Structure 1
Amino acid sequence: MRHINPFKPTAGMNPPELIGRDMMLSDFEEALDNGPGAPDRLMRISGVRGVGKTVLLNALGEVARARGFQVVDVASNSGFCDRILNALHRHMELTSVSVAPTVFGVNLGALEVSKSATQIGEAMFSASKRGGLLITLDEVQDAPIDELRELGNEIQLLIRQGANVAFAFAGLPASVDGVVVDETLTFLQRAKHVELARLSDFEVGESFEETMRRAGKTIEADLAEELVKASAGYPFMIQLVGYYVWQAAARRDSGVIASEDVEKGIRIARESFDSMVIEPALRRLSPMQEKYLRALARCGEGPSASGDVSALMGASSKDTGSYRKRLIDAALIESCGYGKVDFAIPYMREYLLRSEE
C-alpha cells in the first residue's frame, strides 16, 4: 500500500495539523456560535514570514464554512476590494440591474457594477443574511491604505448593525500594528491580536511522531529529536524537513525512518529553505540593509548590541538606525531588549556567513 506524504511545504497549504493553534481555533468557533458581537469575530494575526499566518487564515475559513458562512479569502495587493465584490456577486442571483459604470467599475460578464462603498457594503450585508460572511485579508503589508479604509469602514458599519460577519487579517508585525493606528481604522484595535511565534520543541516533536505514525511510518525518538532541532520551531521549516525526510524513506520503500533519511532530508530541506525563504527576502533589500544583516551575522550567535553591528559597518548607531528599523519592519530582524537585535528567520545568519566564504 502506497502512503501519501502528509507534509505540505508549499506557501499557504494547510499542514496535516495546526501545531499549537487549537485554542485560537476554539475561540473563533465559539465566537461564531455566540453570534454577532462576539469579540473573537475580529482577528488580527501577525508574525514573520513562514510562521503560519496564511495557514491559520485558511483554518478560520474552514471553521466558518462548516457553520454555513460564505468565506471570501483575498490577498491585500491592489484591487482587493474589487475581488471581494466579484466573489460576493458570484454567489448572488442577479436578475436585472443597471448601474452606471464609474472609474472604479468592475466587469461581471455582461453586467457592469460600480465598486462604490455602498455597493460593496450592500453585497456584504446581503451575504451576512444568507448564513453569515467571513472575509480574510492576507499580506496586509501590501494593501493600499485607501482600500483598507473602505473595507474597514464597511465592516465597522455592519458590526454596528448587528450583521452576521467576521473579519480576520494577517501580515508582518509592523504592518498589522500600522493598520490599527490609522485614524479611520482604530476600531480594529479591539480585534483579538494573535501573534504567531516559533513553536516549542515539545509541540514539534509530538507533531512529527504523530503525523508520521498516522500516515504509515515510524521514527525513533532520537531521530525525531534531530528533526525538531533542524526545524527551529519554524512552521514552514517543519513542513520542509518532514516532507524530505519522508520522501527519502519512501524512495527506499521503507516504513521506518532511518538515520540516512534524516540526514538527507534535513540537507535538502535546508537548501529549499534558502531558495524559498532567505534568498527572496534578501533580494528585496537595499545594499545598506544587506550590509547591516551581514554585519549582524558576523557578531556571532544570539542577540547582538546594535552598537556592535554599527561598528562592524564602520558607522555610528545613529547612522544605521534607519536600516535597523526597516529590517525590523520587514520582520527580518527582531528587537531583543534594549539596544539588541537578532535574526527573526532561522538559518539566515548561517546563509550570510556561508555566502562570504
Structure 2
Amino acid sequence: MRPESTEHTNSPFRPGYSRPPLIFGGHQDEIEEFTEVFQHYDFGENQSVLISGLRGAGKTSMLSRLQDIAETHGWLTIRDDASKGLMDRVVGSTIPTIVNSLSDSEQTRLKSLSILNVGIELEIADRSRTVAPSLRSDLVAISQATDNRGILILIDEVHSSKVRLRELSRFALEISHAMSTGANIMVAFAGVKVDLDQLMEQPHMTFLRRSREVDFRRLSIGETRRVLRETTQVGGRTLAPDAETHLVKISQGYPYLVQLAGDYAWRNNPTSDTISLVDAKVAQGKAKKAIESRVIKKVYDDLSEMDQEFLRAMAPDDGRTKISSIVSRMEKSDQYVQVYKQRLLDSGYVESTSHGYVEFSLPYLRDYVRSTMEPHPAESSGLSEWRAFPPPAP
C-alpha cells in the first residue's frame, strides 16, 4: 500500500543530470543578450558561443535555458552531444523530426527545393534525395522553406579525443558554410575549456575562434543564497536564515552542489513548513560524500599523473599555495611547473588568486587529494571480521 501523500514532499531541487534547475543562478546578462538574439535576430557577437566550465558548473543547464527561450520565440532547435556519430544522428534523425514539425506549406517548399522528398501526408519524412545528404544543404533548405526562421544548434560534452574532434570539426564546418548563406543560425558548444581550445585548433575553425566565450565558475554568495531561497519557495516551504547560511557554506557556490545540498536538506524533514539548521547539517555529510564520489574522484582520476602531482603539492596548504612551494615539493624546474599550472587553470580546477599563488577552485578537491595521500590499511576491518566465518565446505 502506498503511503498517504502529505504536503511539501516533492523536492524542487534538481541534482539529477540533464534536469535544469527551477531557479537558474548567474549569467543573467548573457541570458538577456541571447534572448535579444532570439527575439530580434540581432546576433552581434553571439552567432557562435563557447560555453566552458567545470563539471557540474551549469553548462548543460545553460543549454537547456537557451533551448527553452529559443523555442518560446519560435526557433527550431537541434540539440545533441559530441559523441561518435553526431553527424549521422543529426542528418538522419533530428533533421527529419524538424521537417515533420513544419507546416504543410513549409514542407511543400522543401520539396520544391529538391533537397528533401517530403511526403506531406506521411508521418515520417522520406529521406530519398536528388542530391547527396549533408547538414549544410539541410540547414539552408530548412531556412529557405521557413522564411529564414531561426535555427539554434546546441552541442554538449565536447571532448578532445582525436576521433571526436575530427567529426566535430566537420560538423562545425558544415554549420559555418550554412551560416555564410545568410541563414539565421546560432550555435553553442559546451565543454571543459581545454577541450574547446582543442576544437578551435582544428583546421578551418576560423569562425569558432571568433566565438563569444561564456565561462562557468562558482556562483557568487548572493546568487547562491537567491537560488537556495527561491527554489525552496517554489516548493512551498521557507528556508530558515541559519539553514540558508549553512547550505551556502556547504555548496561554496558550486551549482551542482547547491542543488544536491538543497535536495538533501529538503528531504530530511519534508513535511515541515521550514527547512531548519538541523536539516542543513544532515545534508552536509551526505552532500560532501556524494560530490566526492560522483564528481571529484572522476575529475582527479581523469588528470594526468603530473597534474595529480601538482595538486598533491598544493594539498598541504589550507589556503593559497606559492608556486615556489610547488616547485620545491615537486622537485621540478619553475618552467616545468608552469606548464601544469596553466593546464589546471584552463581546466578550472585551480585559480590564480594573486601573482605567484594558486588555490583550489573546485570545492572539496583539496580534501579529496589529501585523502589520497593518507596511508590506507591493506584491508578493511569488515573483511577481517568475516575471516572468522568462512564459506562452508562443499
User: Aligned match of 1:286 in 301, 304, 327?
Assistant: 304
User: Aligned match of 1:73 in 79, 90, 109?
Assistant: 79
Indicate the SS of the match to 1:72: strand
Give the superposition deviation at 1:134.
1.0
* Counterparts of 1:13 and 1:262, CA distance in 2: 22
Give the superposition deviation at 1:68.
2.1
Give the superposition deviation at 1:98.
11
Q: Is the 8 A contact 1:48 1:344 kept in 2?
A: no
Indicate the SS of the match to 2:78: strand
* Counterparts of 1:329 and 1:65, CA distance in 2: 33
Give the superposition deviation at 1:313.
2.5
Structure 1 residue 324 corresponds to structure 2 residue 341? yes
Query: Normalising by the residue count of structure 2, what TM-score does the alignment of the two structures yield?
Result: 0.78
* Counterparts of 2:115 and 2:253, CA distance in 1: 54
* Counterparts of 1:169 and 1:85, CA distance in 2: 18
Letter paired with 1:277: V
- Percent of residue pairs bearing the same amino acid type: 28
**Deviation per CA, 1:257-308, whole angstroms, max 9, x where unpaired?**
1222111112111111101110111222333332221121113312x22221
Indicate the SS of the match to 2:315: helix
Query: 1:309: which partner in 2?
Result: 326
Indicate the SS of the match to 2:173: helix
* Counterparts of 1:331 and 1:78, CA distance in 2: 25
Indicate the SS of the match to 1:139: strand
Displaced runs of 4 or more, over 4 A: 108-116
Q: Is the 8 A contact 1:199 1:235 kept in 2?
A: yes
Q: Please give the root-mean-square deviation of Cα atoms over the aligned residues, in Å.
A: 2.9
Query: Normalising by the residue count of structure 1, what TM-score does the alignment of the two structures yield?
Result: 0.86
User: Aligned match of 1:2 in 7, 12, 18?
Assistant: 7
Query: 2:88: which partner in 1?
Result: 82
Indicate the SS of the match to 1:91: helix
**Deviation per CA, 1:307-348, whole angstroms, max 9, x where unpaired?**
211312233334444443443344333344444322231110
Structure 1 residue 201 corresponds to structure 2 residue 218? no
* Counterparts of 1:223 and 1:31, CA distance in 2: 39
Structure 2 counterparts to residues 5-20 of structure 1, below 5 A: 5-20=11-26
Query: 2:157: which partner in 1?
Result: 139
User: Aligned match of 1:273 in 278, 282, 291?
Assistant: 291
Structure 1 residue 24 corresponds to structure 2 residue 30? yes
Structure 1 residue 210 corresponds to structure 2 residue 215? no
* 1:98–1:13 distance in 2 versus 1, CA, 3 Å: closer
Which has the greater radius of gyration?
2
Structure 1 residue 119 corresponds to structure 2 residue 134? yes
- How many residue pairs get aligned? The number is 344
**Which consecutive residues of structure 2, in runs of 5 or more, have no partner in the other structure?**
1-5, 101-106, 117-123, 375-394
